Structure 1
Amino acid sequence: MDHRLALLGAHLGDDLVAVGDGIPERATHDWSGLPPVRPLALVRPRTTADVAATLKLCDAHGIALVPQGGLTGLAGGAHPVGDAVALSLERMNRIEEIDPAMATMTVEAGTVLQVAQAAAEDAGLFLALDLGARGSCTVGGNLATNAGGNRVIRYGMAREHVLGLEVVLADGTVVSSLNKMLKNNAGYDSKQLFIGSEGTLGVITRAVLRLQPRPSFSTSALCGCRDFEAVLSLLKAMRAGLGPSLTSFEVMWPSFYDFMAGSLPHLPRPLAGRHGIYVVIEASGFDAEHEAARLEAVLGAALEAGDVEDAVLAASQTDVADLWAIRESVSEYSKVLGPITAFDVGLSAGRTGEVVEVLEAGLRARWADAIALSYGHIGDSNLHLVVHVPSAGLAQPGEAITGFVYDTIRRAGGTISAEHGIGLLKRKYLSYTRSDEELDLMRRMKRALDPKGILNPGKVLG
């Protein structure tokens, strides 16, 4: 037996350590599409003390370790490494406390996001962090990747929902700062180091999340706009007219909207005719009559100005689902496209329209039958692009596509990652977004907190 496995078994016990065929298939890959890899061992701690013992042992004996949450990441950040331990936080899934007075929730890192959302709702509060993988992703993974989602325009990225963290460092040291206070300026805010670090600086084990008042009303509208300039005018008007009631502003180019609607005929298509670009808007608040009237008024003004050519305002929750159906059809890609090369990039809103034109035209110029679908959270400066080349079959030209897309984003002053992290898949392009000085600072932090380089080897910085 490998002496490292003997060490793990002797110090941690069979209850925590699985090896060989005892490692479940789900622990061999994440959602990045990378080939499955069986890790050296799978450790499933039950407590922070278990995590600390695991890291102390691995650090002392030079055993690399890959933290895993819900394995829903798309950049390969939680993808296992063959010669490393996979550390799954799935057993650490308790909601420890909900404090109504402070409007906080204290949870273990393995808690599934949807479970945390439901617990907040049961307490009459609202956990505003939300993304499509809510039923599988975990709070620790959300924080380690600084996840985004559809409500970022109103509530911010994952880091805006965090008041306190407990983290285990590479050497097993437990740093517990489960702060509940909104105002706490006592020295460095160390939690920010670990949020978005993808498990390369420490392992998040517990978190204090900031909760919100639960909106009692929500509605949506679907708009067909003239062009992207009209979309920017509509966004400006919605921000001014709705203020904090604007919770989502999702944009779909015809490449995405028409392709998905045509490929999935069961999807409702509430707008008649075709338009230059499409927008789904969500407004929420505490006064149904007032919020609906404000949204209707802003839409009416946009129609009169010609920025919106047609619009449908939901009259029921069934209508809301219908208006969102095409935007949420991304889960159907495997049915209508086959293998894809997917991108999650960030751009200033003013540049996004022209960049989409360059990307879609450039991809078709290189591969005549290329299907390029553009959509995203434009209110948050986040563009998604999905590319499939039918003539290439299973051998998609992913590297060539990626090089072209990221070169275009770099020239436009954007970022190669808006909400999905760097992981393995984007590591070689990190310098497109971060300066030499920024990268040097990241390496200094990595050396300081993980001098032996055992945490998530090969990820983010390599």
Structure 2
Amino acid sequence: MTDVSSSQLATTIDALRRALGDDAVRTGDTIGEHSTTDWTRHEPTRPAALLLPRSTEEVARALSICYDAHQPVVPQGGMTGLAGGAIPRAGDIALALDRLAGIEELDTAAATLTVRAGTTLQAAQDAAAAAGFELALDLGARGSCQIGGNLATNAGGNRVIQSGTARDQVLGLEVVLANGAVLSSLGKMVKNNTGYDLKHWFIGSEGTLGVITRAVLRLHPQRASRHTALVALDGYDAAVALLRRLSQRFGNDIGAFEIMWPDFYDLGVSWTASARSPFADVHPLYALIEHAGFDADDGGERFGTALADALEHGVIRDAAIAQSVADARALWAIRECTAEFPARLDPINFDVSLPIGEIGSFVDRCRAALDRRWLGNRTYFFGHIGDSNLHLTVDGRSVPGVAHDDVYAFVYEMLAPLHGSVSAEHGIGLLKRAYLPFSRSPEELAAMVAIKRALDPHGILNPGKVL
């Protein structure tokens, strides 16, 4: 990518104003703080301009102008990311999809939902529910995150164990390429074996290959009953044993299996006004479990019996089953206290995956190593073990004077020998780019670079991210 001079940048912004209109191009103080950083609270940077296109055609027009000018463009969604993937540089033009929002079609026969990329996940979920369907993707940031960003990062969330990641919810995609060409593949068919499945190049590419503008999402039958329980366990091996026990009994009806080590659990309880621990004693590990079935008459008896059997056989120590929707929300509020991390901590976030059988021992080794290196650190461990995903967050305030990058390197170097992933669901973005070789071979990286060069030869799309 070549550097763009200030005069070239001004000329490009003028061309964008003529193409999109003054109200769709903001500069200077008219660019709000929202577009300067994401939930990482990485050092905010105001882009040279912020574009607010209202249609796919306007996105195409804008990218065509920027492509000809070799002008870097940073696509932005809800700015809820945790890897710095949408943070601009001072000379970049940010392209936000807030105005490109809305439900276009709900096809009940095909069980699909066609949405614009700026639609929030919550709005898409509500539209599906109103028609008697369920959009399986679910994240704590559902009210703010956007479908385009969910797909660009291949978001995971709470129900991957049941329905898969964002990638698994997509049948069709519309993408604007770097040069402004519109790649439209909005098919609704589950079976479509016609050469390369191009949509998968863009899902998880974090806006480095193209800008997602519309998507056809697959819907699922709405589950008629949900039952939530908080379970106390002896340790990690007990959690795996319980997961396998419940999976054998209920199969795909186990919708979530979230585990929390005591450091995280105690923090979540203390932060959540509507929650209190149902247990009198402190336990080595906690699991938040959701059973979601299709039988509207299921009052939770089978789920309760399964937990009682696990208690009788010593698999669990104790259990508290939610008796109402309010009870369930209070239990989930403990797990979703992570939404408060950016405001109440100086979070150094890790989102790793490794074989399920290795997670417990990795946590023990990681905790011990962090304590040896930075005595007094406050680190919170939690995760979705059903899909091999472990999260840990170090509060930077507890390691004063230590650069975040030093903590990243320390933890990722422990992960590397296990051939784990430095990103299970948050993406690579800016913050994990240096550690991508821990999870990808030189040959894989070379193939990724070749794809990037083929689709974005000027390197204008989200430069400096991922690669």
Q: Using structure 2 for the length normalisation, give the TM-score.
A: 0.95
Indicate conservation of the 8 Å contact 2:275/2:331, yes or no: no
Indicate conservation of the 8 Å contact 2:39/2:342, yes or no: no
Tell me the SS of whatever aligns to 1:439: helix
Instruction: Output one character per residue of 1:49-75: Cα deviation in whole Å (capped at 9) or x when no partner.
Output: 111111111111111101011111111
Structure 2 residue 455 is matched with structure 1 residue 454? no
| Residue 37 (structure 1) aligns with | 45
Q: 1:245-324, aligned counterparts within 5 Å?
A: 245-261=253-269, 267-290=275-298, 292-324=300-332
| Residue 445 (structure 1) aligns with | 451
Instruction: Output one character per residue of 1:289-323: Cα deviation in whole Å (capped at 9) or x when no partner.
Output: 54723322321221122120111122211221233
Structure 2 residue 405 is matched with structure 1 residue 368? no
Q: 1:1-400, aligned counterparts within 5 Å?
A: 2-261=10-269, 267-290=275-298, 292-333=300-341, 338-388=345-395, 390=397, 392-393=399-400, 395-400=401-406
Q: CA RMSD in A?
A: 1.7
Over 3 Å counting, the alpha-carbon distance change for 1:262 and 1:121 in structure 2 is closer
| Residue 418 (structure 1) aligns with | 424
* CA-CA distance at 1:228 after TM superposition: 0.9
Q: Residue type matched to 2:290 in 1?
A: E
Q: Aligned partners of 1:389, 1:48: CA distance in 2, in Å?
A: 41
Identity over aligned residues, as a percent? 51
Tell me the SS of whatever aligns to 2:35: helix
Over 3 Å counting, the alpha-carbon distance change for 1:322 and 1:88 in structure 2 is closer
Over 3 Å counting, the alpha-carbon distance change for 1:259 and 1:172 in structure 2 is closer
Indicate conservation of the 8 Å contact 2:261/2:285, yes or no: yes
Q: Aligned partners of 1:368, 1:27: CA distance in 2, in Å?
A: 36
Q: Aligned partners of 2:299, 2:448: CA distance in 1, in Å?
A: 44
Q: Residue type matched to 1:207 in 2?
A: A
| Residue 4 (structure 2) aligns with | none
Indicate conservation of the 8 Å contact 1:339/1:396, yes or no: no
Tell me the SS of whatever aligns to 1:176: strand
The range that moved more, 314-323 or 77-86, is 314-323
Over 3 Å counting, the alpha-carbon distance change for 1:161 and 1:58 in structure 2 is same
Q: Structure 1: any 5+ residue segments left out of the alignment?
A: none
Number of residues of Structure 1 aligned to a counterpart in Structure 2: 459
Q: Residue type matched to 1:278 in 2?
A: Y
Q: Residue type matched to 1:356 in 2?
A: V
Q: Using structure 1 for the length normalisation, give the TM-score.
A: 0.96
Q: 2:407 aligns with which of 396, 401, 404?
A: 401
Instruction: Output one character per residue of 1:159-208: Cα deviation in whole Å (capped at 9) or x when no partner.
Output: 10000001111111111110101111111110000000000000101100
Indicate conservation of the 8 Å contact 1:270/1:322, yes or no: no
Q: Residue type matched to 1:412 in 2?
A: L
* CA-CA distance at 1:8 after TM superposition: 2.1
Tell me the SS of whatever aligns to 1:308: coil
Q: Aligned partners of 2:356, 2:350: CA distance in 1, in Å?
A: 17
The range that moved more, 77-86 or 446-455, is 77-86
Indicate conservation of the 8 Å contact 1:93/1:108, yes or no: yes
Instruction: Output one character per residue of 1:233-286: Cα deviation in whole Å (capped at 9) or x when no partner.
Output: 001011111111100000011222234435668631012212121101001112
The range that moved more, 114-123 or 288-297, is 288-297
The range that moved more, 363-372 or 259-268, is 259-268
Tell me the SS of whatever aligns to 1:183: coil
| Residue 436 (structure 1) aligns with | 442
Q: Aligned partners of 1:392, 1:314: CA distance in 2, in Å?
A: 38
Tell me the SS of whatever aligns to 1:307: coil
Instruction: Output one character per residue of 1:386-436: Cα deviation in whole Å (capped at 9) or x when no partner.
Output: 11255544x444222111110111122211000000000000000000000
Q: Aligned partners of 1:275, 1:301: CA distance in 2, in Å?
A: 19
